[in-house]
Structure 1
Amino acid sequence: MTLIRLNTFNVLFVSLVVVTVGYVKRTPWLPIRREIKTSIGYPEDSILNFTELTRKYGYISEEHRVITDDGYILTMFRIVKARNCHKKKRSPPVLLMHGLLLSSDCWIDSGPNAGLAYLISDACYDLWVGNVRGNYYSRGHVHLNPDKNAEYWKFYIEEIGIYDVPAMIDYVLAHTGFEKLNYIGFSQGTGTFLVMCSERPEYCDKVQLLISLAPVSRQLNTKSWIFRTLTQACDQMESVLSMYGIHEVFSKGEFTQEFFGFFCHQSDVAQRLCGTIIDVFEAVDPSHLGSITNETTRILVGHFPSGTSLHNMAWYGQSMKTRKFMKFNYGKKQNLVVYGSEQPPAYNVSATTVPVLCIYGNDDGVVDVKDVEWLMSKLPNVLESVKVDVRLWTHMDVPYSQYTGDTIFPKINEYLYKYTKV
């Protein structure tokens, strides 16, 4: 039995090192230059950034820089002109936040007929789209160099919730002149909001509606064995990998991401295989016909994954081993130093007093129904909890499905309208 465990551990360790090194290894020839990608037939949408891609489809976006209290430089985008809105924008503003390993691009990669950023803007809402620390849009700091200073990467959802989300809320409200905004968070985008309300409850009062899409809190029942294995291996091996200088993982423009970006656009067979890989990751039967088109897959691999810290991935591994939504577990001795107790404290989920609409899928392999229901039972002001009535609606369908306009957007629009003035 001991030998089997050692062999399993060795396989996990080697696999993790191969995958993570592939996502952090920097060489003179990466990332592949844009003109080379264009010349060998990459889809244009996979190469363009947020402002370029929205402009292509008739939308005008602004880029904004936000500095957090701890010095991280974040990038936000605001769609100031929508293609299909020809009247005054509704108020207050809407802040849309991505999930783990994603960026603002995830909300537009499925195109103007399905991308949630496009749909919200076309409904005449003043939309702001955030990017949290560590992804390729927000990979900056006033003092720290992310390529040289390991300290830059010592963050997890705690810091994102305490610093990033409040900084973006303050910026949007100061820029627009409103006292409150409406917030839409996908996956980690909700988890960090819960952290904010627990640790800085005064910011909860600056939000009048939370729309929670496949929310992350604890992940005790996650079905995705790939996600579970990878994140728990990150937790177990964080100190070893850090010794070898691995602090940033799954970054855009590095070897593995560039490989998939190249491979997934080669042929129809390759595109279908890439779609199958997404299904396997989600622990979904790969024979099913998903709602993410081959064309969207070809585009999203140009922007995904967008990077995060090894420390953040390690926290996700821990979140699958506890019945509570808890802070990082550093071990009993270090916990005593950091928290004053041998066990890490749980976040005060009940501090999220803002009205909540929750939308989730029955076949989500990352955020399981049981964990969503557990979270909703802890929140004091749930207006409605909606299970998407589509067979095999998965985690990645939320940002990338071709059916967003028919599945989740009508309910999102209904509640935004209730909490909006024209």
Structure 2
Amino acid sequence: MKNLLVFLVVAVVGAACFDLFDTENLIKSEGYHTETHYVTTSDGYVLQVNRIPYRRHERSSHKHNRPVVFLMHGLLAASNSYVLLGHENSLAFNLADAGFDVWMGNARGNRNSRAHVSLNPDHARQKFDFFDFSWEEIGMIDVPEMIDYALKHTGREKLHYIGHSQGGTAFLVMSSMRPEYNEKLESVHLLAGVGYMKHFPNSQMSGLAALSNVIYNFALTIGMVELFPPSSDSRSVGRSADSCTGNLGYNYMCDLTGVDQIVRGSGDSEGMFGNYEPAGAAIKQIAHYGQNIKDKTFRRWNFGLLKNLRKYGSSSPPKYNLGLITADVTMHYTVSDTLLDPRDVLAMAADMPNCKVRKVAREDFQHEDFIAAKDSKELVNEYVIEQINAVSGFGR
């Protein structure tokens, strides 16, 4: 993967002043004009949003009413995951070269959005409040507020949403719990969007998930609230594997997320980040997935019996009601995904009133391949662009 290898060499020898998480300069290095925006959420998190408004080597566009496309990354990832394959194959660059106005979000707590108006994520006490969130808050607060920002900035009423993995989870949360946002989405493409867990395919992770609450509570007692915090050396290499050893809590969370597969890659992919560390996440995000894997369901955070009664008015957390999702959704899936079973994809699609499914035409296509495989342009990106053009009437 030529462009990824170039980034690796540049970072290691120190020939550039940016690292792999500096999405703005990664975009510029590929010849695109870019903007970096910051959205302060209603609960004080400062989120970085990256924009590619024009085609490569362009600084303006004569076309009006260009489709606005918002991309949301997966667990332990950041906006850079949509540009790491270089200008020829990366989804964000392919969308920009198709003439679209491309926006990429960063979830709270990752390397690009690790800031708050009053809480310090590195403070011994404040970090507990800063990282007290799961992907529900990302779906309920971060994504809708970034969408509103992009719509206001562009003067548009609707946009197209693309979410990979947890980016799909965030959409399912947002559109079921804040269904008014369905009206702001012209079309939705979920790339291995994780939701239902009835047939979760990884038996090792399923066994570990049974210990989710025990390990999460243990992690809190030893002050562990974040997985893969930034290293002191932004150009460090190979930390992803090292960070998953030597500590029971870290070891468990890495196993539960399948981080070695996602980061290192398998099959035809070279992983999201090659030898680089992931972008980080709150331990609670991972524990929430663990709860749902254990219970074979897709529902809100389980506080325990008494607090559930106070919080939800029931002994068990409510399930997310996908029947409230009315947006035009396409769920892309693969039969070799070790984090999402095709039967759960089909079940989610059946529960959404306006959803279709699409199987990727390579049998060994993996969960991470949607953003990391060399042939993702041919197998995924070109179809997404074609469908956005068809829905929006753009490019005719």
- Name the TM-score class by shorter chain: 0.7 to 0.9
Query: Given that residues 11 and 19 in structure 2 are in contact (C-alpha distance below 8 angstroms), is that contact kept between their aligned partners in structure 1?
Result: no
> 1:404 aligns to what?
376
* SS of 1:74 mapped into structure 2: strand
* Counterpart check, 1:140 vs 2:115: yes
> 1:196 aligns to what?
174
| Equivalent residues in 2 for 1:200-279, closer than 5 Å | 200-225=178-203, 227-228=205-206, 233-253=211-231, 258=236, 260=238
**TM-score, with normalisation over the residues of structure 1?**
0.79
Shift of 1:223: 2.8
Shift of 1:251: 2.9
Counterpart CA distance in 1 for 2:312 and 2:27 is 45
Q: Deviations over 1:143-195 (max 9, x none)?
A: 11111211111101111111101110110011000111111111111111111
Query: Match of 2:362, as an amino acid?
Result: V
Shift of 1:92: 3.1
| Equivalent residues in 2 for 1:105-184, closer than 5 Å | 105-148=80-123, 149=126, 150-184=128-162
Shift of 1:49: 1.4
* SS of 1:69 mapped into structure 2: coil
Change (3 A) 1:259 1:392: same
Change (3 A) 1:389 1:47: closer
Residue number among 102, 124, 131 corresponding to 2:77 in the alignment? 102
Counterpart CA distance in 2 for 1:236 and 1:93 is 43
Change (3 A) 1:228 1:321: closer
* SS of 1:60 mapped into structure 2: coil
* SS of 1:210 mapped into structure 2: strand
Counterpart CA distance in 2 for 1:234 and 1:250 is 18
Query: Given that residues 87 and 124 in structure 1 are in contact (C-alpha distance below 8 angstroms), is that contact kept between their aligned partners in structure 2?
Result: no
Query: Given that residues 33 and 52 in structure 2 are in contact (C-alpha distance below 8 angstroms), is that contact kept between their aligned partners in structure 1?
Result: yes
Query: Match of 2:368, as an amino acid?
Result: M
| Equivalent residues in 2 for 1:354-369, closer than 5 Å | 354-369=327-342
Counterpart CA distance in 1 for 2:361 and 2:333 is 10
Query: Match of 2:152, as an amino acid?
Result: A
| Equivalent residues in 2 for 1:21-32, closer than 5 Å | none
Q: Deviations over 1:360-391 (max 9, x none)?
A: 11101111212111111111101x31100102
Counterpart CA distance in 2 for 1:216 and 1:72 is 24
> 2:247 aligns to what?
none
* SS of 1:318 mapped into structure 2: helix
Q: Deviations over 1:242-295 (max 9, x none)?
A: 11111111234379x94525999xxxxxxxxxxxxx89737x9x9xx82224xx
Change (3 A) 1:290 1:36: closer
Counterpart CA distance in 2 for 1:279 and 1:68 is 28
Counterpart CA distance in 2 for 1:348 and 1:314 is 21
> 2:323 aligns to what?
350
Q: How many residues align?
A: 365
* Counterpart check, 1:414 vs 2:386: yes
> 1:337 aligns to what?
310
**TM-score, with normalisation over the residues of structure 2?**
0.84
Counterpart CA distance in 2 for 1:186 and 1:35 is 27
Query: Given that residues 21 and 112 in structure 2 are in contact (C-alpha distance below 8 angstroms), is that contact kept between their aligned partners in structure 1?
Result: no
* SS of 1:216 mapped into structure 2: coil
* SS of 1:51 mapped into structure 2: helix
Query: Match of 2:275, as an amino acid?
Result: V
> 2:268 aligns to what?
291
* Counterpart check, 1:186 vs 2:158: no
Query: Given that residues 300 and 317 in structure 2 are in contact (C-alpha distance below 8 angstroms), is that contact kept between their aligned partners in structure 1?
Result: yes
> 1:56 aligns to what?
29
Query: Match of 1:101, as an amino acid?
Result: L
* SS of 1:169 mapped into structure 2: helix
In the alignment, structure 1 segments of 5+ residues that lack a partner are 1-33, 265-277
> 1:378 aligns to what?
351
In the alignment, structure 2 segments of 5+ residues that lack a partner are 1-7, 243-257
Query: Given that residues 197 and 293 in structure 2 are in contact (C-alpha distance below 8 angstroms), is that contact kept between their aligned partners in structure 1?
Result: yes
Query: Match of 1:141, as an amino acid?
Result: H
Query: Given that residues 209 and 294 in structure 2 are in contact (C-alpha distance below 8 angstroms), is that contact kept between their aligned partners in structure 1?
Result: no
Considering only aligned residues, what root-mean-square deviation do their CA atoms show, in Å? Answer: 3.0
* Counterpart check, 1:313 vs 2:286: yes
**Which has the bigger relative contact order, CA under 8 A and spacing at least 6?**
1
Counterpart CA distance in 2 for 1:325 and 1:263 is 29
* Counterpart check, 1:79 vs 2:52: yes
Shift of 1:220: 3.2
Shift of 1:324: 3.0
Counterpart CA distance in 2 for 1:279 and 1:139 is 20
